[in-house]
Amino acid sequence: MKRTSMLLIGTAMLSLGAAQGALAQCSPDYTGVEITATTQTGPYIASALALAAKGWAEKTCGTVKVVEFPWSELYPKLVTTLTSGDDSFDVIAFAPAWAPDLTPYLTEMPAAMREGSAWDDIAPVYRNALMVWDGKVLSQTMDGDVHTYSYRIDLFEDADNKAAFKEKYGYDLAVPKTWTQYLDIAEFFQNQGKGVYGTAEAFRRGGQQFWFLFSHVAAYAAHPDNPGSMFFDPDTMDAQVNNPAWVRGLEEYIRASKLAPPSALNFSFGEVNAAFAGGQVAESIGWGDTGVIAADPKQSVVAGKVGSAVLPSSDEVYNYKTKTWDKFDAPLETSFMAFGGWQAAVPQSSTKQEAAWDFISYLTSPEVSGEATVTGGTGVNPYRISHTTNMDRWSTIFSDREAQEYLGAQKSAITAKNVVLDMRLPAYFSYTEILEIELSRALAGEVTPQEALDKVAADWNELTDSLGRDSQLAAYRNAMGLPAK
């Protein structure tokens, strides 16, 4: 009997010790807690959530269920769920353009997450602008999105190419500083007849085309003395989309479409990546995925030859107030935050807000997010300063030169002096649909750039009035980081 008692006591002590050991591994302890996170159908972004969910489960003993919706269904699903107070989702990953519609239903980031080295490590354009609405931090960037430039190192450094280019254009073949140089380079390679075309951009309606137009326009429309004026007059909310800066940007965007592979009008960003990685083009613009895919020997025929830089710019910028072009001593450091990077947030309707924010903190921590940036299929691009400085991590996919150029371009783009924010407005999709209709007509040669943009401006103004000009102006100024009027 005594032996049996001792055995029972020993067994109980072992069980207690095992339980205490398990509890020690759960930090913080969310045993039995399941949170639900939702985003677009993967692999992009959804796989980043899934990978983090596994690590968070091991760390906290909680679980994360990732629910995916097709891109076209995600926005209405989020709006319906949040406005009804439904508690189906504890974490939502959403597009920055939807912020005006979603932020009234989101919780503020805990104060503890808004301090320390991890907080300071987030690039200011995300930390101080894209994560903020009405002066409150209501979301956490989980993906960086800014357009940059990619080029073929081998083609640019070929002696024959360098000599022929210098003879034709009168200056050295090198990374373009201006959009004029970008188009010269595209023209040069387009006309060589060696199976390599000039450039690749997204030109297909519904295929991210308007973001590529915006990148051309930003260099001409984003005057440093008039912040927030690229899309609308921030004092009146009158559309600026048909001013001379936009016309010039559209003219050059159309020209780029003719200095590209024959099927370029059907290109979305996926085809841009395939064209560059397939060795079809000498240069391209787009998100950071291009460089990562092109550097992968399993997906690319140009691995080891991938150069990167910031977008081309301009030394003259249109001033919408004076209606004149202002000349600068050198091209301005201008970059465009195309899309702006996915945001993660916690709805007010969630009953597990503490655990949800802890998961977001883990998901976006320097180490976990850093690994996501170099993991194929996650769709996560750099948004932390540390993402662009850890050479050891990037050496797993890039050569030393490729890594230095890629990270240098990403860092310079998100810290540019004249960084331009994407449009974020209620009814965002209505504005962009109006633009894409006329943009596609201009690309097809059915209307001139001025005619297309005049129609867009008129329709944008009409839409703004129908939604309420004052409320749209307030939202626009908020989105552009300008004080309320």
Alpha-carbon distance of 37 to 50, in angstroms, equals 9
Report residue 11's pLDDT band, with 50, 70 and 90 as the boundaries. very low
Alpha-carbon distance of 279 to 91, in angstroms, equals 40
- Is the pLDDT confidence value at 20 over 60? no
Q: What percent of the chain has pLDDT over 70?
A: 95
Query: Over the stretch 133-187, which tens digit does the pLDDT of each residue have?
Result: 999 999 999 999 999 999 999 999 999 999 999 999 999 999 999 999 999 999 9
pLDDT at 23: 47
pLDDT at 24: 54
Give the least confident one: 9-18, 83-92, 283-292. 9-18
> What's the whole-number average pLDDT of the chain?
93
379 or 454, which is more confident: 454
- Is the pLDDT confidence value at 1 over 50? no
CATH architecture label of 148-338+419-479: 3-Layer(aba) Sandwich (3.40)
Give the least confident one: 1-10, 217-226, 301-310, 335-344. 1-10
Please state the domain extents for the chain. 30-138+342-380, 148-338+419-479
- Is the pLDDT confidence value at 38 over 50? yes
Report residue 12's pLDDT band, with 50, 70 and 90 as the boundaries. very low
Q: Which of 364, 421, 353 is nearest to 105 (CA)?
A: 353
Alpha-carbon distance of 133 to 363, in angstroms, equals 21
At the top level of CATH, the class of 30-138+342-380 is alpha beta
CA-CA distances (angstroms) from residue 269 to 203, 209, 264, 276, 288?
Answer: 9, 8, 11, 11, 11
1 or 98, which is more confident: 98
CB contact set of 43 (below 8 Å; sequence gap of 6+): 377, 378, 379
Token representation of residue 257: 């479409």
Alpha-carbon distance of 472 to 476, in angstroms, equals 6
Token representation of residue 453: 């943009």
Pairing label, strands 306-309, 148-152: antiparallel
30-138+342-380 matches 148-338+419-479 in fold: yes
pLDDT at 8: 37
